[in-house]
């Protein structure tokens, strides 16, 4: 039986029985609520820029969607599902409240995924990371889309699973790379692909995505009218890039975990994208942020104790270093 997708078969597959499942769900919920109640703006020292832009642009009608925008390509490229949903909610709620609620929902799903799938709930602490905080509270659209993906990985019901994957795609087009990974995992599992082919298929998909996101990015985005084809984004620094891409190293060299465990596959995919995009003067840090819950689960699943401790130590060290640069409200 194929093992690539075995790490995310459904919420009922945990490391213990039903009682432990409820305990893990409770821990995940309390953790998410605790993170949500922290005044991260005070710790960060400055407001979240993407959140400010969202509020301003939705207030100004910049994200208005015309009624005749009907093609599937338009809905994907322009992320109309996100725009229409926010405008619909805006009729009854304030924008700041909407985005705060979405941040909480995303945190609840991220935390539940780690609490249920990791070998121990303690790995939730890896989510207290500046990248994930920025994702949940500032890059709300990305967080909402990826939360739908993680929810799909948790749910055991196939129809709902595929439904949330589709929703994620139309909320944020960048999530398509993870949707593709999901499809690869599903196909390998369904057709019971021999293990010796896992590495080729997994590595081949990662390679194809890297090429598409670097060499072919402008062409592909331009061909579907995606506005980001003409947007220049500053690249991340070299040390920052190396630090976040190093997360995936154990999943390559330790028994090819990326070809057997879906969480490790996601982690390697995100880190590979981040590093390749840096080489092409693009910013791929957000992909690593999107994969942090999967990385926490993957680290917890490293079977060799020494490798796991080493990887966990490196992850925590980078987390602390990140906070040193990020928490300007404290370390001024």
Average pLDDT score over the chain: 83
Q: Is residue 66's pLDDT more than 70? A: no
pLDDT of the residue at 144: 97
Average pLDDT for residues 27-36, to the nearest whole number? Answer: 97
The pLDDT of residue 208 is: 93
How many whole angstroms separate alpha carbon 54 and alpha carbon 204? 36
Report the range of poorest mean pLDDT among 84-88, 182-186, 255-259: 255-259
Higher pLDDT, 67 or 136: 136
Res. 108: pLDDT tops 60: yes
Q: What is the average per-residue pLDDT within 79-96?
A: 91
C-beta separation of 110 from 147 below 8 A: yes
265/206 Cα distance (integer angstroms): 9
Residue 178 corresponds to which tokens in the numbers above?
A: 């993870």
Q: What pLDDT does 1 receive?
A: 33
Give the tokens for residue 265.
């596959």
**pLDDT over 70 percentage in the chain:** 81
pLDDT at residue 101 is higher than 90:
yes
String of DSSP letters for 278-302: HHTT---HHHHHHHHHHHHHHHHT-
Alpha-helical regions (H) of 38-125: 40-44, 49-60, 72-77, 80-90, 95-117
CA distance 226 to 63: 14
Cβ contacts of residue 163 below 8 Å, gap of 6+? 152
pTM value?
A: 0.89
pLDDT at residue 312 is higher than 50: yes
Q: pLDDT: is 135 or 259 the higher one?
A: 135
What are the tens digits of pLDDT across the range 184-241? 888 877 777 666 677 788 889 999 999 998 887 766 666 555 555 434 455 556 667 7
Query: Which of 2-11, 142-151, 293-302 has maximum average pLDDT?
Result: 142-151
The pLDDT score that the predictor gives to residue 57 is 92
Look at residue 69 in the predicted model and tell me its pLDDT. Answer: 59
């Amino acid at each position: 039986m194929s093992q690539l997708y075995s790490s995310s078969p459904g919420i009922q597959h945990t490391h213990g029985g039903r009682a432990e499942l409820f305990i893990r769900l409770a821990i995940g919920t309390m953790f998410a609520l605790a993170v949500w109640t922290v005044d991260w703006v005070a710790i960060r020292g400055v407001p979240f820029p993407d959140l400010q832009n969202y509020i301003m642009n939705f207030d100004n009608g910049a994200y208005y969607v015309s009624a005749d925008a009907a093609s599937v390509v338009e809905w994907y490229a322009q992320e109309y599902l996100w725009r229409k949903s926010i405008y619909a909610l805006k009729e009854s709620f304030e924008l700041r409240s909407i985005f705060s609620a979405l941040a909480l929902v995303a945190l609840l799903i991220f935390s539940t995924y780690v609490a249920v799938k990791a070998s121990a709930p303690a790995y939730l602490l890896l989510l207290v990371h500046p990248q994930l905080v920025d994702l949940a509270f500032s890059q709300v659209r990305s967080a909402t889309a990826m939360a739908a993906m993680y929810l799909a990985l948790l749910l055991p019901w196939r129809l709902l699973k595929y439904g949330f994957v589709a929703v994620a795609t139309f909320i944020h087009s960048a999530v398509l790379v993870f949707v593709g990974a999901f499809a690869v995992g599903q196909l390998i599992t369904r057709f019971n692909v021999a293990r010796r082919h896992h590495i080729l298929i997994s590595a081949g998909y990662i390679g194809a995505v890297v090429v598409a996101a670097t060499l072919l990015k402008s062409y592909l985005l331009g061909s579907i009218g995606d506005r980001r084809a003409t947007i220049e984004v500053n690249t991340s620094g070299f040390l920052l890039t190396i630090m976040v891409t190093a997360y995936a190293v154990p999943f390559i060299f330790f028994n090819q975990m990326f070809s057997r465990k879906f969480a490790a596959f996601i982690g390697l995919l995100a880190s590979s994208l981040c590093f390749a995009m840096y080489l092409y003067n693009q910013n791929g840090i957000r992909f690593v942020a999107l994969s942090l819950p999967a990385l926490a689960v993957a680290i917890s699943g490293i079977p060799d104790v020494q490798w796991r401790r080493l990887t966990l130590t490196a992850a925590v060290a980078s987390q602390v270093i990140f906070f040193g640069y990020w928490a300007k409200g404290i370390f001024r």
